Amino acid sequence: MRSRATLLHVVIDVSRQRREIGDLRPISRERNVVLLLGIETSCDDTSAALVATGGRVLANVATNQDAFHARFGGIVPEIAGRQHLSLVAAVIDEALSRADCGLADLDGIAVTAGPGLIGSLVVGVAAARALAFARTLPLYAVQHLHGHLFAPYLGETNVASPAYPLLALLVSGGHTQLVEAESATDIRMLGRTRDDAAGEAFDKTARLLGLPFPGGAALDRLARRGDPRAIAFPRYRPREATFDFSFSGLKTAARRIIEAPDRSSSDADIAASFEAAVVDTLIDRLDRATDRRSYRDVVVSGGVAANSRLRAELCTWGERRGTTIRIPALAYCTDNAAMIAGAALLQGEQIRVEPLDAVADPNLPFSLTPMV
Ligand code: KG4
Ligand code: ZN
């Protein structure tokens, strides 16, 4: 039996949930409206969401396991898998109840199939397979990064639809990628990090500064008190025409400065200068891509898109380039199940699988295999 104590550990992010949804029920009976249950367990957040056609989020419940991993200074895969197992059913129940609907109202289930931690992915995939099989519902296997890519098109009321061609910068704890999309299913990667992900660089530098894990958000707060020009950190700007990223040189430079016995810079100045170097590098790759071709939408998504300096600089950049920038609401920047259901609503049949054929793939490729 599930104990209340377990549920007390759940930090529920009631991000922008709708309470006044009486007018929407039964949503799946409305003409042309599809209601999906999304499930996301690729890393260390157990999340479930109810999302309808047009990216309307009826509920988005995300648990946060940070307290279980903090003392190890990073995510422990074994712990993440076990936490998902103990939370997934409660989180799905909570999402259904907040959306005021039941399994009978669903038109399908969307689940993150990969990439991610295998012990984490299998929990969500097993839950989705079981529900889809038992209720004879369509099952959609979503690539986690496609979820991030379409996260800006989620909201509780009307939101914009993606405009193609679309350029997207996906910046999270595990990934830093620049991608372009001609449609919801024709997506290719332009560049990726050669070493650390942007969020990983934030977390490692934050740790050296004595900030608790995951340190990205704490470093962001610290940086607001510092001078971004105090230290000239290196910016990775390769001469060749590449859209790749690298953050290891910057991370090493930060370590050298933080650990210097005679250091004179304050923590806040180091944080602000480090953050400015990451942001400049990201904006430089957007410049390179938009110099080559114009895009109707430019998306910046993933946990690092929550960074306040990046968000501010992107606004300025968008105005300067005359480009529409789409950044998800904060609740949809970090891992969440609403973005998984949202991606499935856009990609539809191309990612549909037979429930018992769905598999968790920690190395799921980025591009969809063309249908023949
Ligand atoms: O997308 P996400 O929740 O999980 C992954 O798929 O990795 O991203 C988490 C990452 C962490 O590295 C975290 O430190 C970083 O996003 N992050 C931030 C901020 N908020 C979260 N990095 C910089 N500034 C922030 N405000
Ligand atoms: Zn993610």
Summarize pLDDT for 290-316 with one digit per residue, the tens.
Answer: 999 999 999 999 999 999 999 999 999
Mean model confidence pLDDT for the chain: 89
Whether residue 295 is contained in a domain is answered as yes
Residues with Cβ within 8 Å of 116's Cβ and at least 6 positions away in sequence, in order, are: 41, 42, 43, 144, 174, 360, 362
Strand partners, 178: 169, 191
- The pLDDT of 336-342, averaged and rounded, is 98
Q: Please, which pLDDT band fits residue 213 given cuts at 50, 70 and 90?
A: confident
Q: Is the CB of 116 under 6 A from ligand 1?
A: no
Q: Which residues pair with 179 in a beta bridge?
A: 168, 189
Is 2 a domain residue?
Answer: no
Q: How confident is the model at residue 371 (pLDDT cuts 50, 70, 90)?
A: low
Best probe residue, ligand 1, of 15, 144, 304 (max atoms within 8 Å of C-beta): 304
Better pLDDT: 262 or 6: 262
Q: Any idea which of 5-9, 242-246, 356-360 has the lowest mean pLDDT? A: 5-9
pLDDT of residue 27: 54
Higher pLDDT residue, 101 or 75? 101
CA dist., res. 124 & res. 130, Å (int): 10
Pair 50, 99: CB distance under 8 Å: yes
**pTM for the predicted model, two decimal places:** 0.87
Confidence check: pLDDT of 337 > 90: yes
Give a yes or no: residue 268 inside a domain. yes
Residue 182 CB neighbours (<10 A): 11
Task: Calculate what percentage of the chain has a pLDDT beyond 70.
Answer: 91
Give the span between the Cα atoms of 116 and 329, in whole angstroms. 23
Mean pLDDT of 198-215: 93
The verdict on 21 and 139 lying in the same domain is yes
pLDDT at residue 28 is higher than 80: no
pLDDT band at 14 (very low <50, low <70, confident <90, very high): very low
100-104, 155-159, 202-206 — which is least confidently predicted? Answer: 155-159
Same domain, yes or no: 173 and 112: no
Whole-number Å distance between alpha carbons of 155 and 366 = 25
Would 371 be classed as within a structural domain? no
Tokens of 89: 């059913």
Read off φ and ψ for residue 145, nearest 5 degrees.
-70, -25
Same domain, 271 and 191: yes
Q: Residue 261: inside a domain, yes or no?
A: yes
- 286: CA distance to ligand 1 center in Å? 19
Backbone angles phi, psi at 176, to 5 degrees: -140, 110
161 within a domain of the structure (yes/no): no
The pLDDT tens digits for 133-176 are 999 999 999 999 999 999 999 998 878 999 999 999 999 988 89
Positive or negative, the Cα torsion across 118, 49, 95, 102?
A: negative
Name the 3-class secondary structure at 158.
Answer: coil
- State the pLDDT confidence band at 25, using cuts at 50, 70 and 90: very low
Centre of ligand 2 to C-alpha 25, Å, is 31
Retrieve residue 112's tokens.
């993150």
343: left (phi over 0), alpha (psi -120 to 50) or beta: alpha
Specify if 372 maps to a domain: no
Between the CA of 349 and the centroid of ligand 2 the distance, in Å, is: 23
CATH number of the domain that residue 193 is part of: 3.30.420.40
> Is the model more confident about 207 or about 9?
207
Give me the percent of the chain exceeding a pLDDT of 90: 77
State the amino acid at position 98 in one-letter form: R
pLDDT average, residue stretch 358-362? 96
Q: Do 342 and 266 share a domain, yes or no?
A: no
Query: Which residue, by CA, sits nearest to atom 10 of ligand 1?
Result: 173
Residue 1 DSSP SS3: coil
Task: Tell me the average pLDDT across 346-370.
Answer: 92
Task: Check whether residue 103 and residue 248 sit in a common domain.
Answer: no
Most informative mutation of 171, 202, 204 for ligand 1 (most atoms within 8 A of CB) = 202
- Among the bound ligands, name the one nearest to the CA of residue 211: 1
Q: Are 44 and 120 in contact (CB under 8 A)?
A: yes
Residue with tokens 């740790």: 207
b/e burial code for range 72-94 (CB count within 10 A of at least 16 → b): eeebbbebbbbbbbbbbebbbeb
Comparison of pLDDT for 359 and 17, the residue scoring more:
359
Ligand 1 atom closest to Cα of residue 334: 3
What pLDDT does residue 72 have?
78
> Looking at the CA of 312, which ligand is closest?
1
CB-based contact 109:92 (threshold 8 Å):
no
Instruction: Decide if 114 contacts 42 (C-beta within 8 A).
Output: yes
The answer to whether residue 160 is domain-embedded is no
304 & 343 share domain: no
Same domain for 275 and 179: yes
Average pLDDT over residues 186-205: 95
- CA–CA distance from 233 to each of 206, 252, 273 (Å)? 15, 10, 7
Residue 292 and residue 150 share a domain: no
Tally the domains of the chain: 2
Structural domain boundaries, residue 57: 7-155+334-357
**Confidence at 212, pLDDT banded by 50, 70, 90:** confident
Residue 137 and residue 271 in one domain = no
Same domain, 28 and 61: yes
Find the 303 Cα to ligand 2 centroid distance in Å: 7
Residues 95 and 134 placed together within one structural domain of the fold:
yes
* Closest ligand, as measured to the CA of 69: 1
191 has pLDDT over 60: yes
φ, ψ of residue 48 in degrees (nearest 5): -140, 145
State the pLDDT at residue 24: 41
Are both 191 and 310 inside the same structural domain?
yes
pLDDT at 13 over 90: no
pLDDT at 26: 47
Q: What is the pLDDT of residue 10?
A: 38
User: For atom 11 of ligand 1, which residue has the closest CA?
Assistant: 173
- Ligand 1 in contact with 342 (CB < 6 A)? no
